[in-house]
Homo-oligomer: A and B are copies of this chain.
Amino acid sequence: MMRGFSEEEHRARVDRAQAAMDRLGLSALLLTTEPDIRYFTGFITRFWESPSRPWFVVLPMVGDPIAVIPSIGAALMGRTWLRDIRTWTAPNPVDDGVSLLGKTLHEVARGGKVGIPSGPETHLRMPLADFGRLQGVGIDFGDDDGIVAHLRAVKSEAEIAKIAQSCAIAGRAFTRIGEVARAGVAMTEVFRGFQRLLLEEGADWVPYVAGGAGPLGYADVISPADEAPLSEGDVLMLDTGAVWDGYFCDFDRNFAIGEANPRAEAAWAHLVEAVEAGEAVARPGARARDVWAAMARIVGAGETAGRLGHGLGMQLTEGLSLTARDDTELEPGMVITLEPAIETAEGIFMVHEENIVIREDGPQRLSPFASGRLPLIGV
């Protein structure tokens, strides 16, 4: 599969953003985070792991995006479709790109409003003190009103293909889990082994692995692994966000170690049923809360419980949330997870998760859906 995207696709994204900016009266957008910058430019690097340098892209209401970046990124940004690349030597404790960015924003916005993604799931990736300096030179900032988030929520075919690739990679790794997990193996080793399998199956990198184990499930699905060993009769859950060419999968698998507890089997059957119920209503025009309700009915989730799924793409989680409160209308091209959880004992849960893309005529499965009984490993 081809890496990256065509210039045509990047230009189409810019065109859609500019049409929305026009409607809102924004003269420019200021982008500072990895996914927002990558979405419009194709700039992909793991160097964002270093917090030492801010990176900026200015998207004018008319014309091509302008990169205002540390000189260490000039060569890589030069291989994208962008032609206007302005650099400074960073880190510079006295002026870390602020005057160069201010000059660029003045030139582009000419006193008009500059939109910044400011809503849910966003943050401004630059020092707050530097943002204050920009405000001090008379740039008029405002909310982008979700323009970037809404564009990113609806995926192109090329984006969907990359997510499908990540899902296929994780699907193959999950079928090999018996190679790394059995009774007596510490969870730290299971997590390491699972990450190795994901890489062997083709993941570029593995930004996220979570999991848990116990006779009836797990207390927590966000903890790192500990040194506790797996035991006969445990349910082991592993959840991954593996990446191929910058796009995530996000789904999990549950396994019974040696033998399955009948109560865990019963919970598992409910989880599979809930995913299928969510899938059945995940069609264009349905709301996020409708998909939530279809699953919540089966697993007995209350309105104030956590979400039962979410969008995904360039980030592990992005876009809508499957909760009772989220009115987002499903559109073709949205990629979401179905992630019901069920309480099996006081404070103990089992969670199941699959990935789908919304199509005109209904959902299409991206992860290889689990079915049947809880798979046994180590026997």
Seen from chain A, the residues whose Cβ lies within 8 Å of a Cβ on chain B are: 3, 44-47, 49-52, 71-73, 75-76, 89, 91-94, 96, 116, 118-129, 132, 143, 188, 191-193, 195-196, 199-200, 202-210, 219-227, 241, 304-307, 310, 315-318, 321, 323, 325-326, 347
Contact = CB atoms under 8 A, between A and B. Distances in A.
Nearest to A319: B52
B93 A326 contact: yes
Contacts of A71: 306
Given A50-B317, A96-B120, A44 B224 contact: yes
29 contacts: A3-B227, A45-B222, A46-B208, A47-B210, A49-B241, A49-B315, A50-B208, A51-B123, A52-B310, A75-B219, A75-B223, A76-B223, A91-B323, A118-B127, A118-B129, A118-B132, A119-B129, A121-B127, A123-B123, A124-B124, A124-B128, A188-B204, A191-B204, A192-B202, A192-B203, A195-B195, A195-B205, A196-B200, A205-B206
4 closest cross-chain pairs (CB), A and B: A118-B128, A47-B222, A50-B317, A118-B129
B46 A305 contact: no
Nearest to A47: B222
A126 to B, nearest CB: 6
Contacts of A73: 222
B321 A224 contact: no
A226 to B, nearest CB: 8
B195 A199 contact: yes
A316 B210 contact: no
A24 B92 CA distance: 25
Contacts of A307: 91
A198 to B, nearest CB: 9
Given A76-B223, A199-B196, A315-B51, A92 B124 contact: no
A317 B241 CA distance: 24
A7 to B, nearest CB: 18
Contacts of A221: 72
Given A45-B223, A50-B208, A116-B128, 15 more contacts: A52-B121, A72-B221, A75-B219, A75-B347, A76-B223, A89-B305, A89-B306, A91-B307, A93-B325, A93-B326, A96-B120, A118-B127, A124-B124, A192-B199, A196-B199
A3 B326 CA distance: 39
Nearest to A246: B224
Contacts of A227: 3
Contacts of A195: 195, 199, 205-206
A202 B132 CA distance: 43
A171 to B, nearest CB: 17
Contacts of A124: 123-124, 128
A42 B146 CA distance: 34
A200 B47 CA distance: 23
A129 B118 CA distance: 5
Nearest to A321: B91
A52 B318 CA distance: 7
